[in-house]
């Protein structure tokens, strides 16, 4: 079934529609369902990016079987050798960065500068994880007993299932796949149905870098018919999901029943605090980037700005003026600053929250409308939207929208700001703008979130530090850096007794 020519990534200049197959056991195979789905450009529905397999449980089973066979050998490949393949993949991604970024803009909609950043994040992750292949540290400790050696080694978990989101289609796939394979696991991944191509591109780079067949298997399709069977499969030992808290609750429940390791990275309603002493120019630019970058579709997006009363009026006025001028359009145009919503359903959600905000008494200072004139009519565009007079308990200040809708709230002082910031069900990212080092450190201590930025918006995490959050944002795991290594390995404590006699721990005291 290997029909590689059919499954090569589409070139942007090609007019012919590409059919992408599942990647199982190193072969490109059709789904046993015989069904497919279309991947269209959210900025221009006339642009068909590709046709993908609408897979089912049978395909998942085949992928897990392949991963199981591959695991028997892969776990025995020395970690530095495994890591070298990931290093080579980074070099391949550098060569293909521009092509992959363009394809990502076509399938996801975010602007080219950002899709280049998304590919770059996969490259950064690959370099970091390649280095981990020579570490994977564990403790060696003195034993309580004489002539006895004690240490803990990391072992791979086994077959890992991954369910990835559409907003960072290559970066977040890399956060999961790269540490997993360096640690000696094998994988079955379901890319988001809106953006499967970028995951295929990442896996293609890894395959071209020499990753053996079956180590990574890609099954495209929808949550219920692919994601659920992956999470339920008895041979899958770990499951990693980035998605909504709603889906996280389902996947977490399934994983708990069979005691799978489970890493959930879910929603956010990320606050940016602006104190009276802040550099306002910086805070305004930061708030625009954090709020409207990626069309507000980052888990870490700056969706709430909490401004101290002394600068509130000036901040709001200048912020809104800038928001009104943001250029919205097709992300392939280098002058565009904000792309479309990912799909019709997301756009409907964004517009629904505009109505909710108006109805609960917030004041909309700009935006609020769908853009559907001229070329806009082919995409899922809306205006950057800003609400002020937002009260902390309003739904637009509490619920994740995942669109270009920013709520501005007022606060009296740092204490009040922190209370508002923490008064939500999520705890992913947070930020504060101030020149006062004492206030900055107090905020670093008191903001109850997985990430805090000082004098930067709530977005911009780097791959070598832990990524994730508190409360409904997840279940305590972290991606990125050492957090990922923790998730994709299990500890094995090893005791070597070379005394040649029975030594009873806690009873013989080596006296």
Q: Which residues does the annotation mark as catalytic?
A: 265, 299
Among 80, 131, 212, 460, binds ligand UN1 (CB under 6 A): 460
Closer Cβ to ligand UN1, 188 or 299, answer by number: 299
Instruction: Return the range that interacts with ligand UN1 (CB under 6 A); candidates 27-35, 256-264, 459-467, 482-490.
Output: 459-467
**Main-chain dihedrals φ then ψ at residue 41, nearest 5 degrees:** -65, 120
Task: Give residue number: closest CB to ligand UN1.
Answer: 461
> What's the order of all strands across the beta sheet hosting 44-53?
19-20, 44-53, 36-41
Closer Cβ to ligand UN1, 299 or 408, answer by number: 299
Instruction: Return the range that interacts with ligand UN1 (CB under 6 A); candidates 2-10, 85-93, 138-146, 456-464.
Output: 456-464
Tokens of 309: 């009363």
CB 182 within 8 A of CB 82: yes
Closer Cβ to ligand UN1, 323 or 459, answer by number: 459
Nearest approach, Cβ of 158 to ligand UN1 (angstroms)?
Answer: 27
Nearest approach, Cβ of 167 to ligand UN1 (angstroms)?
Answer: 5
Query: Tokens 């006025």, residue?
Result: 317
262 bridge partner residues: 239
Query: Tokens 């200048």, residue?
Result: 318
Closer Cβ to ligand UN1, 195 or 300, answer by number: 300
Instruction: Return the range that interacts with ligand UN1 (CB under 6 A); candidates 39-47, 98-106, 457-465, 482-490.
Output: 457-465
Query: Tokens 């991963």, residue?
Result: 67
The residues, ordered by sequence, that sit 6+ positions from 265 with a Cβ below 8 Å of its Cβ are: 241, 242, 243, 299, 467, 468, 469, 473, 474, 477, 479
Nearest approach, Cβ of 461 to ligand UN1 (angstroms)?
Answer: 3
Helices (H), 381-509: 395-398, 414-422, 437-446, 481-487
**Main-chain dihedrals φ then ψ at residue 116, nearest 5 degrees:** -65, -40
Spatial separation of the C-alpha atoms in residues 392 and 213, rounded to whole Å: 52
SS3 of residue 148 by DSSP: strand
CB 382 within 8 A of CB 310: no
Nearest approach, Cβ of 178 to ligand UN1 (angstroms)?
Answer: 15
- By CB under 6 A, residue 300 contacts ligand UN1: yes
- By CB under 6 A, residue 174 contacts ligand UN1: no
Closer Cβ to ligand UN1, 85 or 432, answer by number: 432
Nearest approach, Cβ of 483 to ligand UN1 (angstroms)?
Answer: 14
- By CB under 6 A, residue 167 contacts ligand UN1: yes
- By CB under 6 A, residue 110 contacts ligand UN1: no
- Length in residues, the chain: 511
Tokens of 233: 């499969």
Query: Tokens 């740092």, residue?
Result: 414
Query: What is the footprint of ligand UN1 within residues 403-442 (CB under 6 A)?
Result: none
Nearest approach, Cβ of 98 to ligand UN1 (angstroms)?
Answer: 19
Among 52, 71, 166, 168, binds ligand UN1 (CB under 6 A): 168
Please give the size of the binding site for ligand UN1, defined by CB under 6 A: 9
Spatial separation of the C-alpha atoms in residues 232 and 259, rounded to whole Å: 11
Site string for ligand UN1, 461-480 (x = CB under 6 A): x-------------------
Query: What is the footprint of ligand UN1 within residues 115-154 (CB under 6 A)?
Result: 121
CB 400 within 8 A of CB 298: no
* Interacting residues toward ligand UN1 by CB under 6 A: 121, 167-168, 298-300, 459-461
């Amino acid at each position: 079934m290997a029909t590689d020519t059919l499954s090569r990534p589409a070139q942007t200049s090609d007019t012919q529609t590409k059919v992408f197959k599942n990647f199982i056991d190193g072969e490109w195979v059709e789904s046993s369902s015989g069904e497919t789905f279309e991947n269209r450009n959210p900025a221009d529905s006339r642009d068909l990016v590709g046709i993908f397999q609408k897979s089912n449980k049978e395909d998942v089973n085949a992928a897990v079987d392949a991963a199981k066979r591959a695991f028997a050998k892969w776990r025995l490949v020395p970690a530095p050798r495994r890591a070298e393949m990931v290093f080579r993949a980074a070099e391949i991604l550098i060569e293909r960065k521009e092509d992959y970024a363009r394809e990502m803009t076509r399938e996801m909609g975010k602007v080219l500068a950002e899709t280049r950043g998304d590919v770059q994040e996969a490259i950064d992750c690959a370099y970091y994880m390649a280095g981990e292949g020579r570490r994977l540290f564990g403790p060696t400790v003195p034993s309580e007993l004489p002539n006895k050696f004690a240490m803990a080694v990391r072992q791979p978990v086994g077959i890992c299932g991954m369910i990835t989101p559409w907003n960072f289609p290559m970066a977040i796939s890399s956060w999961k796949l790269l540490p997993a394979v360096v640690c000696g696991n094998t994988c079955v991944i379901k890319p988001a149905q809106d953006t499967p191509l970028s995951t295929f591109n990442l896996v293609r780079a890894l395959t071209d870098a020499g990753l053996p067949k079956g180590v990574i298997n890609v099954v495209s399709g929808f949550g219920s018919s692919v994601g659920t069977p992956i999470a339920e499969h008895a041979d899958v030992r770990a499951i990693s999901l980035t998605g909504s808290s709603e889906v996280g609750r389902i996947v977490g429940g399934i994983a708990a029943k069979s005691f799978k390791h489970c890493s959930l990275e879910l929603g956010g309603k990320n606050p940016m605090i602006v104190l009276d002493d802040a550099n306002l120019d910086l805070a305004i630019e930061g708030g625009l980037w954090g709020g409207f970058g990626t069309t507000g579709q980052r888990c870490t997006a700056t969706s709430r700005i909490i401004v101290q009363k002394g600068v509130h009026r000036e901040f709001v006025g200048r912020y809104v003026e800038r928001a009104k001028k943001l250029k919205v359009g097709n992300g392939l145009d280098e002058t565009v600053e904000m792309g479309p919503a990912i799909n019709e359903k997301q756009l409907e959600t964004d517009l629904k929250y505009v109505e909710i905000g108006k109805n609960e008494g917030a004041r909309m200072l700009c935006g609020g409308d769908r853009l559907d004139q001229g070329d806009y009519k082919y995409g899922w565009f809306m205006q950057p939207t800003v609400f002020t007079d937002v009260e902390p308990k309003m739904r637009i200040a509490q619920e994740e929208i995942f669109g270009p809708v920013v709520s501005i709230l007022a606060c009296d002082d740092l204490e009040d700001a922190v209370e508002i910031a923490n008064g939500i069900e999520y705890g992913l990212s947070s930020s504060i703008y101030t020149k006062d080092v004492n206030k900055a450190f107090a905020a670093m201590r008191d903001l109850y979130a997985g990430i805090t930025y000082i004098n930067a918006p709530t977005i911009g995490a780097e791959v070598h530090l832990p990524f994730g959050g508190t409360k409904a944002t997840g279940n305590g795991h972290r991606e990125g850096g050492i957090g990922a290594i923790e998730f994709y390995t299990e500890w094995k404590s090893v005791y070597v007794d070379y005394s040649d006699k029975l030594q009873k721990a806690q009873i013989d005291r080596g006296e």
